[in-house]
Structure 1
Amino acid sequence: MNRRNFLQQASLSAAGLAILPGTLQAAEKPEDAAAASSFRAVFLSDVHVKPTEKAEAGMRKAIRKINSKEFRPDFIINGGDAIMDALNASKEKVQQQWDVWNRVMKDENKLPIYHCIGNHDAWGWQMTAPEVKQDPLYDKKWVMQEHGMQERYYSFTRNNWTFLVLDSAQENNGGYIARIDEPQYQWLETTLAAVPKDNHICIVSHIPIVSFCSAMFADENQANGDWRISRALLHVDARKLVDLFKKFPNIRTCLSGHIHLQDEVEYFGIRYFCNGAISGNWWGGAFKGFAPAYADFEFFKDGNVKRKMITYES
């Protein structure tokens, strides 16, 4: 898939049981106590799976490694763009892509998984036929059905962490724009206010809210030297969201995918992580130097977060 098309197209499963930390022993080191009260989650994004041998084998290898006894986290967060593309694909081709996704997940995954919707997961945005727009599967209904999601956006809690999963890609004249719609904003504001003050908060979005690598996606600046940052690559409502986040000091981190690049930005005390892509350069190797990878996150009781990028091909 080429970059121009990418720019133009700009579930919850049952969670595992919470594990309560044991009593601190006299000989136990403080860092050991912190580790004992943490949990791990894999953030995988932009799998872009399709019915080809290379894509299926690559996804299978990544999911198998995540589920291995040596690695095995507590749960998975799917950051979106599970399939290659549903924006302008026939029902037959979309179903073929979902068949591969579901087959690999059934064969290889035994972990709880929480899903975020990506722009390429939405069906029919670039199709003009009236019957597509009227189809019950149009828009995000199909991806929600495949993932078993009851809502486009939702929250869940693990230990003393609350996760808010957003729906960040909205249809825009046949393409898409990175923002949350007004009902979702109202839900976000209300949900943030309802989180206990002693709970830490992690916000998940497919498209970054704050990011540096969004500016690095294009190969060149504009002719006048201005940066090229598409409204499909960074939340256009980022200022509004950042202002909202300032009201809630227990927001610790935000996780995203979409860009196929990796970065870490701290802004007003919140750490924003953009976490690469399982598919790399859409199953064509590394993308701008970043090999196919997923992120291994450790969430600590004190609100700290650690990330390690895993290049699963190695």
Structure 2
Amino acid sequence: MDMKRKDFLKASIAAAGLSAVPELAAARTSAAKRSFRFAFISDIHVKPERVAEEGMAKALQHIQKLKPKANFIVMGGDAIYDSLKATKEYTKQQWDLYQSILQKNNSLPVYNCIGNHDIFGWYNIPKDTGDPLYGKAWALKELGLSTPYYHFNKGKWDFIVLDSTQERNEGGYIAKLDEAQFKWLERKLDDIPSDHFISIISHIPILSICAGLYFGKNDPNGDLRIQYMLMHTDFFKIKDLFNKYPNIKNCLSGHIHLQDKVDYNNIEYFCNGAISGNLWKGPYYEFGPAYALFEFYEDGSCQREMISY
């Protein structure tokens, strides 16, 4: 290709605003100093089965070998295959397996987020609500958390980890924040210095186009359906709160097993696929097993690379 043609193509791409082109994406942050990098792994769904066990181990081993090294791991929820409808024996087997593989294959700090499948007994009939491990208690114990939502800091970046999954009166779960958590979020956002940058982590996406693509088809009337368990049903309430804080830069999630990025009102919403792909049966639609590698920069920007490990 001659230089004039090459220059013309570069200029045309820039004019079209195609920010997904790697060369242009890299240029956006080339002048910024990197603060840290981390792996976002989600939807492991580990279970006593060879493919799942080896897959989780390989993903963790791959992360340990990254160069430059990742500073930590964010685990975006659904660590185990399922405990919503499971016996105590099978739930314990899954958690023991998760802890064993993690201990043997990871040396990095892990920041955990609870997923819907990590919750014990909500789908069991009858529900044993008197069991001290019922609901989120078991997951909190296994993940080393005192509360299902919390905050941690990395220099000029503050991370807020939310609990997306609430029990639904009609049965099952719904994607939203309960009232106490929302009030906590209001206070926490107000406490963070305005010159810090904020990243929000949730298992279920706060905003995602993939939530409308999850079923792989239209409804009979042509609608794309976003069900109450696929994206935050309180998006508008959260969005109005976020509008008060221009230092909120991104939101990271899993749950959908698909990958997308939505830029909405100066916030980047990343849905980061699944370590398990289609529950260890290959890709889910176009997206195979993968994790996200994030680079966070001192100017408040970030970059994501999806890694097929």
TM-score (norm 1): 0.87
Distance in structure 1 (CA, Å) of the matches to 2:284 and 2:173: 22
What residue is the counterpart of 1:102 in the other structure? 99
Q: How far is 1:221 from its partner? A: 1.4
Aligned amino acid, residue 50 of structure 1? K
Q: 1:137 aligns with which of 133, 136, 139?
A: 133
What residue is the counterpart of 1:168 in the other structure? 164
Residues 29 and 301, structure 2, Cα contact 8 Å, conserved in 1: no
Farther off after superposition, 202-211 or 212-221: 212-221
Structure 1's unaligned 5+ residue stretches are 1-29
Distance in structure 2 (CA, Å) of the matches to 1:272 and 1:31: 18
Residues 79 and 256, structure 1, Cα contact 8 Å, conserved in 2: yes
Cα deviation, 1:219-264, whole Å, max 9, x if unaligned, reads 2211111221110001000000001000000000000000000000
RMSD: 1.3
What residue is the counterpart of 1:152 in the other structure? 148
Q: How far is 1:107 from its partner? A: 0.2
What residue is the counterpart of 2:208 in the other structure? 211
Q: 1:196 aligns with which of 193, 197, 207?
A: 193
Cα deviation, 1:131-183, whole Å, max 9, x if unaligned, reads x1110000000000001101110000001000000000111133110001000
Distance in structure 2 (CA, Å) of the matches to 1:176 and 1:126: 9
Bigger Rg, which one: 2
1:124 aligns with 2:121: yes
Aligned amino acid, residue 34 of structure 1? A
Distance in structure 2 (CA, Å) of the matches to 1:32 and 1:268: 23
Distance in structure 2 (CA, Å) of the matches to 1:81 and 1:248: 29
Residues 65 and 71, structure 1, Cα contact 8 Å, conserved in 2: no
TM-score (norm 2): 0.89
What residue is the counterpart of 2:263 in the other structure? 266
Distance in structure 1 (CA, Å) of the matches to 2:126 and 2:227: 27
Alignment of 1:277-296 (within 5 A): 277-296=274-293
SS of corresponding position for 1:137: coil
Q: How far is 1:127 from its partner? A: 1.1
What residue is the counterpart of 1:227 in the other structure? 224
Structure 1 residues 302 and 233, CA gap change in structure 2 (3 angstroms): same
Distance in structure 2 (CA, Å) of the matches to 1:159 and 1:137: 35
Residues 50 and 84, structure 1, Cα contact 8 Å, conserved in 2: yes
What residue is the counterpart of 2:18 in the other structure? none
SS of corresponding position for 2:187: helix
Q: How far is 1:275 from its partner? A: 0.1
- List, as ranges, runs of 4+ consecutive aligned residues in structure 1 with deviation greater than 2 Å: 30-35, 69-72
Q: How far is 1:69 from its partner? A: 5.4
